[in-house]
Amino acid sequence: MIVPLLSEVELQNLFVKTETTRCPIETFELLKPDEAALAESDSLYSLLDVQNRVTNDIQVDSTVVQTDGTVTSIEHHFKIKAIAEGGASQLKDVKVTLIVCGWEQLSLVNQDPLSHTLIVRDNVTQTVDLLQGLFVTNDTFCPPTTFVVRADDADLPTSTNLTSDQSLNAWIEGSELKLYARDPGSIDFWVQAITITDKHVNQPATLINNCGPNSQDIWRTTAGVQEKAVAKNLQTIELYSAAAIHGMFQQIDPTRCEIEKFEVFDSPGGTLLAAGDLYDVLDLSSRSDLMSGLYIDTNVAMTDGTVIEVPHNFAIRATAKGGFEQWKLFETKIVVCGFEELSAVDPAPYTNTLDIGPAALI
C-alpha cells in the first residue's frame, strides 16, 4: 500500500536557509545513500514510488513480506537533495522504518464490563472518551485503529452487529463510544478493538436505560381514590374502560415508559386477587390484565331492606416499563334497589285551570 511519507511542507522544514525571503527551494531529489541517482532497477525506486512522483511530496510503499514474527521492523536509508533557485543544494540523510504488524497482542486494561445507566427522559447522549484507553497492546506501533460495537463476544469473522433498534442506543463515532437511552431496558454489547492486521479483542459492556431513578420520575401525581356506585341486577357490566383506567394514572413520559400491566389487589400494597368473592365479582378470571377494561357483577341476593348498599373496595397497581409502580384505591358500591319509597314533592292535589273561550287551545 502506497502511503504518504513526507509532504512538501515537512520537507521544507528539514532544511534551514540563510536567505529566507529569496532563493526558495524548488525541488527535492531522491538519491541512494551513496548520493547516486536512483535507477528503475533499485529497490528504493519502487519503495519510494518514484515512477508516480509528480510533486515534491514523498510516498512510500508500506508492503512487506510476511515474517515469522521475529522481524518487527525494516529500515531503509536514502538521501534527499534540496535544490534552491539558482542551483544551491544541500543533502539530508533519511531513515525510514517500516513497522511489521501482525504479531501484536491486544488485551483489556480491565476485565470488568463497562456499565452505564441512563435515564430515558433526560434525552442526553453520553460519551465514553478515548476508547484506546480500554485496550493495551504489546507493540505500541501496532495499536487498535478501528472500533466497532458488536452484539456478541464472537471472533472477528463471525461477530454480529447490533440490531437497528439497539444501534440507536450505542454506536461509535471516531474513537468515542456514544450512549443514548432511547428506550427502557438493558442492552449487553461488546466494543471490539481491531488493529491494522485484524488482531482484535472484545470489551464487554452493559447499558441500562431506566425510565427514572424512582417513581417520582414516572408518575405525574399520586393516583388517589376512585369512587363509583352502580345499581344492582344489571348483570356483569363495564365498570371502567381500559382507556379510563389508563387515564387515572398520569405519566410523565407515556410514549416510552408506558404502562405494561394493571393488577388488582385487595388493598394498596396488599394481596393480589387470585380467587374468592371479590375476584369473582370483578370477573377477573377472564379479564385479569384489565387491558379490555374492568367489569363488575351487579347481581346481589335479595335482602330484607336493611342492606341497601354492597361495598367492594380494592386497589389497582399500574406497572410501567422499568418496574415503576403506582397504586390507586377504588371504593365501589352496588346500590340495592327495591326497598326505596317514593313520595310526592307536594301532597296537595295538582290543579290546572284553562280558559275555554273561543281562542283557547285544549
Query: Would you state the pLDDT for residue 93?
Result: 94
User: In this structure, are residues 135 and 184 in contact, taking their beta carbons and an 8 Å threshold?
Assistant: no
Mean pLDDT score of the chain: 83
pLDDT digits (tens, 9 = 90+) for 320-340: 876 778 888 888 888 776 655
Which residues are CB-contacts of 51 (< 8 A; sequence separation ≥ 6)? Answer: 40, 45
Q: Is 269 left (phi over 0), alpha (psi -120 to 50) or beta?
A: left
C-alpha cell at 324: 415503576
pLDDT digits (tens, 9 = 90+) for 205-256: 999 887 766 555 566 665 567 778 777 766 888 888 888 888 888 777 777 7
Query: Would you state the pLDDT for residue 53?
Result: 93
Query: Would you state the pLDDT for residue 184?
Result: 78
Q: Which whole number is the average pLDDT over 285-300?
A: 81
Domain boundaries, the chain: 2-99, 106-210, 217-335
Q: Place 28 in a pLDDT band, splitting at 50, 70 and 90.
A: very high
Q: Which whole number is the average pLDDT over 311-318?
A: 89
Query: Would you state the pLDDT for residue 123?
Result: 76
Q: Which whole number is the average pLDDT over 251-272?
A: 84
DSSP 126-187: EEE--GGGGEEES-TTS---EEEEESS---TTT--BPPTTGGGTEEEETTEEEEE--SSEEE
Which residue, among 199, 196, 325, has the nearest Cα to 260 in the 3D structure? Answer: 325
Cα 348–Cα 351–Cα 353 angle in degrees, nearest 5 = 155
Distance CA 107, CA 329 (A): 57
- State the CB neighbour count (10 A cutoff) for residue 82: 20
Q: Which whole number is the average pLDDT over 81-103?
A: 89
SS3 state of residue 328: strand
C-alpha cell at 234: 344489571
C-alpha cell at 152: 456478541
Query: Would you state the pLDDT for residue 218?
Result: 64
Query: Would you state the pLDDT for residue 16?
Result: 84
Q: 159-162: which pairs have CB atoms within 8 A and are 24 or more residues apart?
A: 159/190, 159/192, 159/202, 162/187, 162/189
* Amino acid identity for residue 148 in this structure: V
- pLDDT at residue 70 is higher than 90: no
pLDDT digits (tens, 9 = 90+) for 134-151: 999 988 888 898 999 999
Alpha carbon of residue 127 to chain centroid: 12
Distance CA 346, CA 362 (A): 26
Query: Would you state the pLDDT for residue 219?
Result: 67
User: Cα separations (Å) of 325 from 142, 182, 185, 224?
Assistant: 52, 21, 16, 14
Query: Would you state the pLDDT for residue 89?
Result: 92
Tell me the β-bridge partners of 207: 116, 187
Query: Would you state the pLDDT for residue 260?
Result: 83
- pLDDT at residue 121 is higher than 70: no
Q: Place 204 in a pLDDT band, splitting at 50, 70 and 90.
A: very high
User: In this structure, are residues 187 and 168 in contact, taking their beta carbons and an 8 Å threshold?
Assistant: no
CATH architecture assigned to 106-210 = Sandwich (2.60)
pLDDT digits (tens, 9 = 90+) for 164-175: 988 999 999 988
User: In this structure, are residues 196 and 145 in contact, taking their beta carbons and an 8 Å threshold?
Assistant: yes
Q: Per mean pLDDT, which range of 11-20, 270-279, 338-347 is the poorest? A: 338-347
Q: Which whole number is the average pLDDT over 36-42?
A: 93
Q: Which whole number is the average pLDDT over 299-306?
A: 65
Query: Would you state the pLDDT for residue 29?
Result: 94
- pLDDT at residue 177 is higher than 90: yes
Q: Per mean pLDDT, which range of 194-198, 264-268, 347-351 is the poorest? A: 347-351
Q: Which stretches of the chain are DSSP H helices?
A: 8-13, 43-47, 242-248, 277-281
Q: Place 345 in a pLDDT band, splitting at 50, 70 and 90.
A: confident
Which residue, among 228, 226, 246, has the nearest Cα to 237 in the 3D structure? Answer: 228
Higher pLDDT, 176 or 348: 176
pTM score: 0.56
CATH architecture assigned to 217-335 = Sandwich (2.60)
Q: Place 52 in a pLDDT band, splitting at 50, 70 and 90.
A: very high
Distance CA 108, CA 105 (A): 10
Asked if domains 106-210 and 217-335 share a fold, the reply is yes
Alpha carbon of residue 283 to chain centroid: 40
- pLDDT at residue 358 is higher than 80: no
